[in-house]
Each structure stands twice: as structure tokens, then as C-alpha cells.
Amino acid sequence: MKTCNECITYKSNFYHEVIHCLASALDYRDRYTKGHSGRVGDMALELSEMIGLDDKMKELVHIAGHLHDIGKIGIPDNVLNKEGPLSDAEWLTMKTHPQMGADVVNKCSSLKEVAMVIEQHHERWDGKGYPSGIAGQNIHLAARIISICDTIDAMSSNRPYRDHFTWDYIRFEIRNNAGSQFDPDLAKYSDQIIDSWISRYEAPLPLLEVV
């Protein structure tokens, strides 16, 4: 017979495995960003540890990071996997994925806060994001963390319409957008998280001098 702590551990492990399966389902639809959600979830957890969040918040960030793009399951294939830049109309369709993801996850009563984070992960510090245009501290902390990690992984990955950016250019972009796109206090940790992430790659990207 399992002890109370063993039951909690079992439920937690089962819970995370289900979350991982949901995130993996997206990989089958979006072949160009396969593994993206998992990397963002892991990177967001690492950043959460750097800033000293408690275990409950770290778990929230980790789960929301893994599920942040789950709404893309509802995006048509001709938009999701288009080999080239999106048209204005296609971009408007793509921008519905945070709300769709929140709607999906919100059906689980224990994931209400995760759903909120998913809905807000494309909001900007200056209020120019989507879907709601909220700003600053009104954006959930977990969403602000995921926003930085999502950008780092997206820029360091190849896409159908562009090759990956170099690490020093990514550093420049995060710093340059601190206080506009990103929470300036969190952006201060970008070099640290990028240094940690570079060490995970077998062949780090070449450096590019940014003037």
C-alpha cells in the first residue's frame, strides 16, 4: 500500500506525463517547431530557478511552458506549416492560438491558472501584445518568463521562412527589447539563461558582431 507521499509523487509524475503527451501532440502538427514546447518549458523552469521562485510557481511555469502553444492545434495546416511569411489575414489567424490554447486548457478545473498564463504568453510589457493588450505587472509572472524563453528558442531555431539567428544577435534582441516587449527585470537574466542553453547544444551557433 502506497504512503501519502508516494501517492502525491505518483499523481505528480502522472500529471506531468499527461502534460508531456499533450505537448507532443502539437509536434505532430507543427513539424517546423518540433520539440519547441518542451525546450521552452525546460528553459522557463531554469529561469524560474535563477530568480528564486518557490516550488509551486516553478511547477506552474514548467507546465505552462510545455503547453504554451497548444492552441496551435486549432490553426489550419495551410497557415501553421506555410513555407514562407504569413499574409496579414494568416497572421491574424495565427494570433488566435493563445486564446484557443487557454480555452482548451481551461476545461480542466485544476489548470485554470495555467490557462491564464497560456492566454497571456504573447502579451508585451508595453501593452502592445495580444490577445488583450495588457501591460507590465498585469501580465502573469509566468507568462513574462515564458515570453523570454519562447523568443530565445524561436530565434535560435530554423523556420521555413528563415534560418536561425546567432546567439549574440539573440542576446542583443532581448536586451534591446527589455522594457518594451520583455519585463526588464527578467531580461537581466537573459545572458545567464542563454549561456546555460548554449552548453546544451553539441555545435553552438557562430558568433555575429552586432554594432
Q: Indicate which residues carry an active-site annotation.
A: 72
DSSP three-state, residue 8: helix
Q: Exposed, middle or buried by CB within 10 Å (0-12, 13-18, 19+), for 84?
A: exposed
154 touches 163 (CB < 8 A)? no
Q: How far apart are CA 162 and CA 146, in angstroms?
A: 22
Q: Is the peptide bond before 160 cis (omega within 30 degrees of 0)?
A: no
Rounded Cα–Cα distance for residues 141 and 146 (Å): 9
3-state secondary structure of 88: helix
- The CA distance from 172 to 31, in Å, is 28
Residue 173 · residue 153 · CB < 8 Å? no
Cβ–Cβ < 8 Å for 157, 143: no
